[in-house]
Amino acid sequence: MSDISTQVGDDPSGDPNIKQLRERAKRTEDAEAALQAANRKVAILESGLDVESPIGQLFVKGYDGEFTAEALKAEAEKYGVPIKGAAPATETVVEEPTEPTGTAERTALSDGAPADTGEDLDPRETSRKNFDTALAAGAPRDVAAGAMLNELANAAHRGDERVIVKDR
């Protein structure tokens, strides 16, 4: 709402009409804010949101959409906010496939990998041995190189400093 004093001008004599208009404008603003807060509470109650749960409280605090019971309920369901009287949401269980999903090439690479013996072997040496073993087994050179790079990448993923190149 615009400031009335800029439109009418400040009257140093304290004109009672201006004073009454300002007071009335302030009361109107306060009444509008109270009405908006009451409408918000009614919409929340009508939507059935569980505002006593932590997630319900967080949802209501952060919601800035349309404050109707239907809009609140639809948005709450999208985020899994509990609604009073509704059945709790059930999680969909996805079964893992029982057949192997890797390609034949990945399987062939992993077949030649050494077992974890618990020893702290240098991944550079282990990768070179994987390369030589794959070549000796008749694998093409690019497949053997893939086995070598796979070992080095796994070591880097584990955080092995011996294969991680530091910035200079």
Do 13 and 75 fall into the same domain? yes
Residue count (the chain): 168
> Residue 86 has what pLDDT?
62
- Structural element, H or E, at residue 167: none
What's the confidence (pLDDT) of residue 73? 85
Domain count, the chain: 2
Tens-digit pLDDT profile for residues 105-127: 666 666 666 556 667 788 888 88
User: pLDDT tens digit string along 4-16?
Assistant: 555 555 555 567 7
Instruction: State the residue range of the domain holding 48.
Output: 4-79
Whether 93 is covered by a domain: the verdict is no
| CB-CB neighbours of 63 under 10 Å | 18
Place of tokens 């497949």: 143
In a domain? residue 96: no
Q: Is residue 80 over pLDDT 70?
A: yes
CB 47 within 8 A of CB 73: yes
CB distance 131 to 147 below 8 Å? yes
